[in-house]
Amino acid sequence: MLKQVIQANSYTTPLIAGQYTQIGYVETWSEINSGTIILHVKYVITDPAWYLTEVHLAVNTTLSGIPQTPGRVPNPIPGLFPYFATGLWSKYYEFTVNLSDVFGLSCPTNNGTTVYIAAHANVAKANENGDTVQTETAWGQGTRFNSRGNWGMYFTYNIICEECTHGGVCHLSGNPETAWAKGYNFSGSNWGMYVVYTGGNQTTDLIRGQHTDVGDVYIWRDGSDLVVRIVMNQNHSLTALHIQVATQLIGIPQANGNPIPGQFEYKVNFTDITTFYEARIGLDSSEQAASQLYVAIHAEVDTYVCTAT
């Protein structure tokens, strides 16, 4: 039994210090309480040498709502972010934002609302004696505010509303089925598919059991990453996800023309109800230079039901 707290709709992105070093991650999830939407944003340091000293958070329903300098090349202004904590020496810190109070959002009328999040931190590195030997700025990895100013970043999070009443429980059926992002069929006998990504923002359906549309798949480039976002239809949940990216179709693991998801490079399993997920796949130099990419997106999808307690 899964409590009706939508931690299953969780998104995690790396916490990057000094523009290049991953020292932890930022996790975002939402909680629905009688239609009220509570957003949680948690900074976590996993590198044993680094610590949070300050954290600054901005959340808004528009990118322009995040404090930035005026002009054609806007830079984020962490000192004006509305949520902050100073004087820290910690491995983690969590903010909660009542999106219903701040922005008037509520479930289920605002199902699918996207919010923009800028998660900034000041961090310090300590030696074995506990002395500070390095300080850096850190950001939750995402999209840069601009390519010419500072390297501050933001990411987006999609609010998924569930129709179960607060305090209810949700049950997976325990009967997951294969699903593929809709595209072109491989040459083998099974119905596995691949997508040809040619740039920009592409959208396709997630097909379960060969015939049922159970969600939407969004694909786009963000710097050297390919981003794959999956938003499930009502009462459907991801239980596993496998993604392979290649510059040629033969670069996707196959046997007799049939794809082999178990050999795909990107793999993740889900134990809770998961109705939203965003994967970032780092592209090598040849993939970054390619005019098109072959992307195979395989999932295991289960159904679930929610009942009041």
Q: Is 31 left (phi over 0), alpha (psi -120 to 50) or beta?
A: beta
List average pLDDT for each run of 10 residues in the chain, which is 309 residues long: 41 90 89 81 91 98 94 91 96 93 81 87 94 96 87 89 54 92 96 94 92 90 85 87 97 96 92 82 93 97 78
The pLDDT of residue 229 is 84
Give one DSSP letter per residue of 44-69, joined into a string.
EE-STTEEEEEEEEEEESSGGGS-B-
The pLDDT of residue 147 is 82
What is d(CA 145, CA 73) in angstroms, rounded to the nearest whole number? 8
Question: Which residues of 127-173 form beta strands (DSSP E)?
Answer: 132-140, 143-144, 153-158, 169-172
Rounded (to 5) percent helix, strand, coil in the chain: 10, 55, 35
Looking at the domain covering 170-307, what would its CATH class be? mainly beta
Kindly give the pairing relationship between strand 92-98 and strand 36-45. Answer: antiparallel
Kindly give the pairing relationship between strand 293-307 and strand 169-172. Answer: antiparallel
Cα–Cα nearest to 198, from 187, 214, 183, 177:
183
Cα–Cα nearest to 5, from 165, 176, 122:
165
Listed by start position, the domains of the chain span 2-158, 170-307
Kindly give the pairing relationship between strand 2-3 and strand 10-17. Answer: unpaired
Report the Cα 61 to chain-centroid distance in Å. Answer: 17
Q: Is 2-158 in CATH node 2.60.40? A: yes
* Reported pTM: 0.56
The pLDDT of residue 238 is 92
The pLDDT of residue 159 is 82
The pLDDT of residue 112 is 65
Distance spanning both ends of the chain, measured CA to CA = 11
What is d(CA 17, CA 141) in angstroms, rounded to the nearest whole number? 10
Instruction: Label residue 271 exposed, middle or buried (CB < 10 Å: 0-12, 13-18, 19+).
Output: exposed
Q: How far is CA 23 from CA 29, 35, 125, 133, 295, in A?
A: 20, 35, 10, 15, 29
